């Protein structure tokens, strides 16, 4: 298994509160990704990073921000959580190159009440 951990694994929060999810890798891969997975929508990219302090938006980035201060850590922040952000969040990593396999973490299940 690729060395990817996500924390927390489960979280319940209230609307309007900030939430930060953490992805940690031990593979020293350059690229890191945050996805959300919802029934009927599949996996959708939120943000990705192509190096320390280098990030870009994905398909569904509104309401989310990210930071990457170290190669091994990629943080996803919901500044003010909404019920529409209830989802399962997956982190993925890949090595450099355009034909790069992405390896996924175990996921974080977030419920916003």
Closest to other proteins by CB, 58 or 63: 58
Rounded least distance, CB 42 to other proteins, Å: 4
Burial category of 88 from C-beta neighbours within 10 Å (exposed 0-12, middle 13-18, buried 19 and up): middle
**Residue ranges binding other proteins (CB under 8 A):** 4, 33, 40-45, 48, 50, 56, 58, 90, 92, 98-99, 101-107
Closest to other proteins by CB, 40 or 53: 40
Rounded least distance, CB 67 to other proteins, Å: 19
- Cα Rg, the chain, nearest whole Å: 13
**Among candidates 89, 101, 95, 35, which has minimal Cα distance to 71?**
95
For 22-37, give the DSSP string: EEEESS--SEEEEEEE
Closest to other proteins by CB, 80 or 95: 95
């Amino acid at each position: 298994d690729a060395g990817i951990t996500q924390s927390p694994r489960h979280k319940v929060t209230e609307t309007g509160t900030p939430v930060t999810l953490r992805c940690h890798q031990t593979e020293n891969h350059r690229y890191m990704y945050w996805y959300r997975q919802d029934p009927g929508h599949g996996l959708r990219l939120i943000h990705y990073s192509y190096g320390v302090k280098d990030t870009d938006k994905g398909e569904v980035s509104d309401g989310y921000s990210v930071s990457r201060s170290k190669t091994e850590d990629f943080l996803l922040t919901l500044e003010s959580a909404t019920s529409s952000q209830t989802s399962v969040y997956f982190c993925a990593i890949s090595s450099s190159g355009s034909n790069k396999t992405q390896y996924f973490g175990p996921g974080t299940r977030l419920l916003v009440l």
